[in-house]
A and B are shown apart, each in its own frame.
Chain A
């Protein structure tokens, strides 16, 4: 323990007596926080120039551009599409929007956006803003068109309902008619048209008249009687015709009844059909135009109550400070010790290598804790809400920082000069930063890289801090991530113990051979 404290004390004395190092270590992170804090304290874009070109601007295009202008984008109308594209290439404008002439709902052309893909984050942001503006106008148009359709449908439904009343009237009239026919048929059927007795009477009259005629020698009276008989016979004939007519009428009424039944069936069919159509129209649950145009509405709501960008950038910011400072500081501490003349005396002293390694680790962690105290002090003064998560964050940061320190120590043992170790540290830090969500979303990387990036210490650390700081999660919620870091720590310790001896021997052989 005494030896450990002596080594740490020595490390601190050397560090403090190197004024530039002390200044960088104490002031560096504070400066970084202040700079980033003032730079990222707002999430809005400013001075973004959007170039536009259209051979025919109309109300729609102008309204889109007006909306963009109200959103603080500077709109520059250019004379040709080529000039517009050239403007992006020469950074005169940030993005070029080419509208088809007289843009409306029936326009076949598309709105074309020309972007500089090398400024990928900015491109995503502006493209998103323009797309949302165009989508807004497009939605308004859709609403108009859909409104017309919905009104027409409602009208049709109302008309059908009216026609249905007429159909019902026809059916009622038909039924009445049929009822009359049935009555008439009944009357016809009930008519007594049995004239056989009259015939018999006529025959008997004729027979008796003949007898009488014979008897009375053809008196004129008989003539009259014959005439009467003939008249009766003629009447009888008429009666018989009436009977035929009645039969015909009965046949016709029967046919009419069938026709009315058939018409009623048709009317029913038409009614059923209109019922069905009306029901279908009525069954359309969403008749609100807004709901038809945008059946699913999305509203972006923050999951945290943070308002300033600096607050939700804080985990990333802390990770950047921790990563770069830990890797650089530990690699430089190791390399300085390795190349110092005193290294030999340390090495041949009766002190174990593990103690020197541990002392280097403790020195670095103490320095970084000191820096984090400064950073957190500043951040808590800006956002007092952070103090609630401080205990969990401290535990997590201890583990994250330890991982980076051990990684930096490996770099220090691998390289043999301060310059190469510094380049190595910065390169490694940059790689870790690049394959994180900070530069480009991980989701844009190919599957293989994305899977690898999930094991990136920076990504893991950032995820832990985001959960703890922004979502106020407990340490239990980040057990998996902390477990992965613990595995890294164990692996790094093993690597350091292996390379400590090999690295110093390799370095000294090189030095010896050069000498």
Chain B
């Protein structure tokens, strides 16, 4: 696998405040790479530093083997960046914004129009191309912002909190869009503090805490590093889990923990399958109504929580 971006010992301070502390990252080509962390952990600063908006205090950033300090123009040409602030001109129409940013990104006049049409169709904004961007809804504005980042066909798309402030439906749309962009051979770097969607979306994830990368890897690698156990989630119509819970607690070799969380029974087991069969049998016997049953590994949230606690 070819590495698209390499970040070595990156350090950034704002005055006395250390924001990034010896960050080391390797981002592979054509993958969706997630950077998660609490608010103020340095995610946005990291992204803005790797495109040269902030000057580094220490460290080296390279894209496809070319360093930022020597080839910033090349790097800006191959990178698209969509922020959480919607970096567009509200008093320009959707098309005018795309024309403007396309022109700044050296898209030839001849291909600019076709690029705009393509990108608008891609982000499903073609119906609003003559609308002033200030009149667009939140989700449409976010899509326009992504369209502006894509207008020059970048090889790397950086998305800073793309689903921030959006309702679940719009969030789903954006995630769908991100997958589509990645499927088009674009490397996507995404930051979010919504761990569930990052887990779903990303091929690789780095956890940033207080300016330091405390762990990175694929979601499975991260979960495995936390625990090799599986989780069974069960929701019954009666929400009465005492009988099942007491029965499972007797199988200490198979079951490591049983607890009720948010009206659900959560069971941790090294091998979920025989335990799940047992549970379903008990449900059938009790004649209770089965609402939901799910088997999964430890969530990214749990991994994150644990790692953050560990690192203080």
Chain A contacts to B: CB under 8 angstroms: 2-3, 6-7, 10, 13-14, 17-18, 340-351, 505, 508-509, 512-513
Interface pick from B47-55, B121-129, B200-208, B214-222: B47-55
A-B contact pairs, 18 of them (CB 8 A): A2-B103, A3-B103, A6-B100, A7-B104, A10-B92, A13-B96, A17-B91, A17-B132, A18-B91, A341-B83, A341-B88, A342-B88, A344-B53, A345-B88, A349-B101, A350-B73, A505-B54, A512-B45
Assess A350 versus B91: contact at CB under 8 Å? Given A13-B96, A512-B14.
Answer: no
Q: Are B77 and A14 in contact, CB atoms less than 8 angstroms apart?
A: no
Q: Are A505 and B89 in contact, CB atoms less than 8 angstroms apart?
A: no
Bound Cα distance A508, B87 (Å): 14
Bound Cα distance A505, B45 (Å): 13
Q: Write the nearest CB–CB distance from B85 to chain A, whole angstroms.
A: 4
B150 in contact (CB, < 8 A): no
B289 in contact (CB, < 8 A): no
Bound Cα distance A346, B89 (Å): 11
Q: Are B14 and A509 in contact, CB atoms less than 8 angstroms apart?
A: yes
* Interface hits, B95-120 → A, CB 8 Å: 96, 99-101, 103-106, 109
Out of B17, B53, B74, B96, which one reaches A348, CB within 8 Å?
Answer: B53
Q: Write the nearest CB–CB distance from A401 to chain B, whole angstroms.
A: 25
Q: Are A348 and B45 in contact, CB atoms less than 8 angstroms apart?
A: no
Assess A513 versus B14: contact at CB under 8 Å? Given A3-B104, A6-B100, A348-B53.
Answer: yes
Residue in B closest to A5 when the chains form the complex, CB atoms:
B103
Instruction: Tell me which residues across on chain A come within 8 A of B86, comparing CB atoms.
Output: 341
Bound Cα distance A349, B99 (Å): 13
Assess A341 versus B14: contact at CB under 8 Å? Given A2-B109, A6-B100.
Answer: no
B76 in contact (CB, < 8 A): yes
B304 in contact (CB, < 8 A): no
B63 in contact (CB, < 8 A): no
Bound Cα distance A509, B54 (Å): 9
Q: Write the nearest CB–CB distance from B172 to chain A, whole angstroms.
A: 25
Instruction: Tell me which residues across on chain A come within 8 A of B96, comparing CB atoms.
Output: 10, 13
Q: Are B103 and A344 in contact, CB atoms less than 8 angstroms apart?
A: no
Out of A341, A343, A349, which one reaches B104, CB within 8 Å?
Answer: A349
Q: Are A349 and B14 in contact, CB atoms less than 8 angstroms apart?
A: no
Q: Write the nearest CB–CB distance from B100 to chain A, whole angstroms.
A: 5
Q: Are A340 and B73 in contact, CB atoms less than 8 angstroms apart?
A: no
Chain B contacts to A: CB under 8 angstroms: 14-15, 17, 45, 48, 51-55, 73-74, 76-77, 79, 81, 83, 85-89, 91-92, 96, 99-101, 103-106, 109, 132, 148-149
Out of B17, B79, B87, B100, which one reaches A10, CB within 8 Å?
Answer: B100
Assess A341 versus B99: contact at CB under 8 Å? Given A346-B104, A349-B104, A350-B106.
Answer: no
Residue in A closest to B85 when the chains form the complex, CB atoms:
A341
Instruction: Tell me which residues across on chain B come within 8 A of A508, comparing CB atoms.
Output: 53-54
Bound Cα distance A18, B91 (Å): 8
Instruction: Tell me which residues across on chain B come within 8 A of A505, comparing CB atoms.
Output: 54-55
Q: Are B77 and A348 in contact, CB atoms less than 8 angstroms apart?
A: no
Instruction: Tell me which residues across on chain B come within 8 A of A341, comparing CB atoms.
Output: 83, 85-88
Q: Are A340 and B53 in contact, CB atoms less than 8 angstroms apart?
A: no
Bound Cα distance A351, B105 (Å): 7
Q: Are B81 and A345 in contact, CB atoms less than 8 angstroms apart?
A: yes
Bound Cα distance A15, B101 (Å): 18
Out of B87, B99, B106, which one reaches A342, CB within 8 Å?
Answer: B87
Q: Write the nearest CB–CB distance from A508 to chain B, whole angstroms.
A: 8
Instruction: Tell me which residues across on chain A come within 8 A of B148, comparing CB atoms.
Output: 345
Q: Are A349 and B105 in contact, CB atoms less than 8 angstroms apart?
A: yes
Bound Cα distance A409, B72 (Å): 26
Bound Cα distance A207, B74 (Å): 175
Instruction: Tell me which residues across on chain B come within 8 A of A7, comparing CB atoms.
Output: 100, 104
Out of B55, B91, B105, which one reaches A14, CB within 8 Å?
Answer: B91
